Amino acid sequence: MTEDLLIDADGHILEPPDMWEKYLEAKYRDRAIRIKVGDDKREYLEIDNKRSELTSPTLLASLGGMKKLQELGATVEDVNAQRRELLKSRSGEKHRVFDSLEGVETVETYAGGAAYGAMDMKERLDLLQTEGMAKSVLYPTIGLLWEAEVFDADLTDAYCRAYNRWIADFCRDSGGRLIPIAHISLGDPAAAARELARAVKDGCKGAFVCPFTITRKPHGHADHDPVFAAAQDLGIPLAIHPTLEPPAFGVHQRFNGMDWADWYFDLFAAAGVPQAFGTLFQYGVFDRFPRLRTVVLESGAGWIGYWLDRGDAIYRRTALGGTVQLKERPSFYFKRQCYISGDPDERSIAGLTKLIGEDRFFWASDYPHPDHPGDYLEELRGMVEGMSSTARRGVLGENVARAYNLL
């Protein structure tokens, strides 16, 4: 793939533990996000002066660990075998086994668990060079955790502003190879629109929102129009990226007694993203803002074929379609204004490029997060196998370059 433009559409960076203390305005600094050490000598995440209830010490220490098992000489198979044995011995207990697994997690700190390039700009550029990548679009890590536990719109906006200033600074001297993306919250749409304009002026090339809103208003609701208008006028894409979600909002509350089921949890971790995305169609956002570009991230891409077929069928051939505030069928707007990223291990994308459009799909590594395998470049070869030359070039880099105006 060395002859192709290779751009990672969704990489991540681990924020410095003291970033919010340094970048928050003075008014909010005493409520900064921090990493502290508890009585058990383990690090934990503190949000607004309260210990996080959703981010465990083990999760915190693992956030940069995509390749850590290989680096430590362990194999994933060995780790999984140990975990299965532990489950057998502790059957019926309601706790996350990952948090109590002894002898497997050898890294005990957030920074200590960071893989190469996860926290240092020069290391990340070196990693891009080694892997033959031209650019990486960067999203946060702790920024995907805290919003599920903050329901104060003023504080949420302040946390976003602090991160956005920091990520712009982090990427500023990268020669355009590291692409900063702003984090905005829909709690106060007018404030979010102002921050979006400020962040883009500071160098951010796009923005993302969580798959939930702290107001519980659907993403497509007209109250969020100031954000859509700002993104359209600024000419930048607005993405929906999975995050931790407030438990009462998520899809994982359907069953009891599955606290331990990490595989199941991760399989459906991004289920909120299509739900949020669907509200943009239901509420007619794409007719109100015909130049708005939207991006669906880290939720797989194979589902979009069924999703659009089903959405079109309901829209055209049932009375349910009369509730959709759009002039055209959903697939029309997707092909005009939307993009979606696929995981490198997906094998259905070649066929979907023929049906939906060769210019609609990206690939993304999720580096360095531990819920994806580290062999993304090897897997990527399989993802693009069977694609036309234009589809291949698009998926590998040209589509994300066009979407984010990186060419």
Residues making up the chain, counted from first to last: 407
Between 86 and 356, the more confident residue is: 356
Mean pLDDT check: name the lowest of 99-108, 176-185, 247-256: 99-108
Strands 135-139 and 207-209: unpaired
56, 96 in Cβ contact below 8 A? Answer: yes
Q: CA-CA distance, 116 to 133, in Å (whole number)?
A: 15
Q: Please tell me the predicted confidence (pLDDT) of residue 97.
A: 40
- Alpha carbons within 13 A on the beta-carbon side of 301: 29
Q: How confident is the model at residue 2 (pLDDT cuts 50, 70, 90)?
A: low
| pLDDT tens readout for residues 265-274 | 888 888 999 9
Q: CA-CA distance, 390 to 334, in Å (whole number)?
A: 19
Question: Percent of the chain at pLDDT above 70?
Answer: 91
Residue with tokens 């234009």: 390
183, two tokens: 């984090």
Q: Please tell me the predicted confidence (pLDDT) of residue 98.
A: 45
Mean pLDDT check: name the lowest of 1-5, 329-333, 387-391: 1-5
Q: How confident is the model at residue 207 (pLDDT cuts 50, 70, 90)?
A: very high
Q: How far is residue 8 CA from its own chain's centroid?
A: 13
3-state SS assignment for residue 47: strand
Task: Judge whether residue 351 has pLDDT over 60.
Answer: yes
Question: Percent of the chain at pLDDT above 90?
Answer: 78
Q: Please tell me the predicted confidence (pLDDT) of residue 52.
A: 98
Task: Judge whether residue 343 has pLDDT over 60.
Answer: yes
Over residues 274-287, mean pLDDT: 97
| pLDDT tens readout for residues 68-106 | 655 656 676 776 777 677 666 665 444 444 444 444 445
Mean pLDDT check: name the lowest of 15-24, 60-69, 146-155, 391-400: 60-69
Q: Please tell me the predicted confidence (pLDDT) of residue 69.
A: 58
Q: How confident is the model at residue 327 (pLDDT cuts 50, 70, 90)?
A: very high
**CA distance between the termini of the chain:** 19
pTM exceeding 0.85: yes
Average pLDDT, the chain: 91
Mean pLDDT check: name the lowest of 99-103, 348-352, 362-366: 99-103
Task: Judge whether residue 3 has pLDDT over 90.
Answer: no
Domains, the chain: 7-30+115-403 (3.20.20.140)
